[in-house]
Structure 1
Amino acid sequence: MKPYKFIKTGADWYIDLPEFIEQGGSIGDLQMVDGADKMLDMMAENCDLVILCIDKEQFDGADLITLIEKCDPYIGGGYYLMQKYEGKEINRTMWLCQVTEFVFGDIPLQIFVKREKS
């Protein structure tokens, strides 16, 4: 389980992943869009920063995000469904881009996520 910082700049969310940029990635690739931004809005509770612990293996208190459609390699990433968040039924889909492959080494069938509370 590793914590990742997500930062909102204006209306846009980005994952703070300097190692991706250092390896030739662009800041635009780090933008969270197509449902992931709405999830971060909900998780951040009106803040411009949220830290999420994320892993492919289940860990205590984590919510499950399930792959529902792997995208064509040209587009990259996949569409995921998060049925519950912190015990509440939400049934939200989101696209997680090719940066997911950078983080995990592949497009996992399941991702476990938990918001770090400050």
Structure 2
Amino acid sequence: MKQLFRFYKTPEDKWYIDLPEWTGPISALEMVEGADDMLDKASNNTNECFLELSDTDFEGADSIQLIENLRDSIGGGYYYMETYKGETINHRMWLCEVTEFVFGGLPETIYISYR
């Protein structure tokens, strides 16, 4: 699965994924605990960015690795991003249960490219 996703930042400085097929509360779509910081970087500190995400490797993609699976407790998991566009960043982020919705589970590795 490889898909392009839109992320947007509200006037209150909160990041969300634009996921029209989501039927749960919008609050679950908020990007927090490191994911928001990564989106600031990916958006070049603007209020919108597009990320191509996949659970299989593709040319030009960075990757994030699952380091702590929290599916059975709070949902989602902690991921680690070693590099961003070839630059070492060593960044930890939590991706919520929406990740499970998008991928049908928590991938060990998620591949990302920036548009």
Judge same fold: TM > 0.5, yes or no: yes
2:4 maps to 3
Query: How do 1:1-118 and structure 2 match up within 5 A?
Result: 1-10=2-11, 11-21=13-23, 25-116=24-115
In structure 1, C-alpha distance between the alignment counterparts of 2:74 and 2:43, rounded to whole Å: 27
Q: CA deviation at 1:5?
A: 0.2
Structure 1 vs Structure 2 CA RMSD: 0.8
TM-score by length of 2: 0.96
Q: Which runs of 5+ in 1 are unaligned?
A: none
Q: Which runs of 4+ in 1 moved over 4 A?
A: none
Q: Deviations over 1:53-108 (max 9, x none)?
A: 00000001000100000015231000000000000000000000000000000011
Q: CA deviation at 1:47?
A: 1.3
Q: Deviations over 1:24-51 (max 9, x none)?
A: x110000000000000001100211000
How many percent of aligned residue pairs carry the same amino acid? 49
TM-score by length of 1: 0.93
In structure 1, C-alpha distance between the alignment counterparts of 2:28 and 2:35, rounded to whole Å: 13
Secondary structure (helix, strand or coil) at the match of 2:21 reads helix
Q: Kindly tell me the number of residue pairs found equivalent between the two proteins.
A: 113
Q: 2:71·2:97 contact (CA, 8 Å) conserved in 1?
A: no
Q: Which runs of 5+ in 2 are unaligned?
A: none
Secondary structure (helix, strand or coil) at the match of 2:79 reads strand
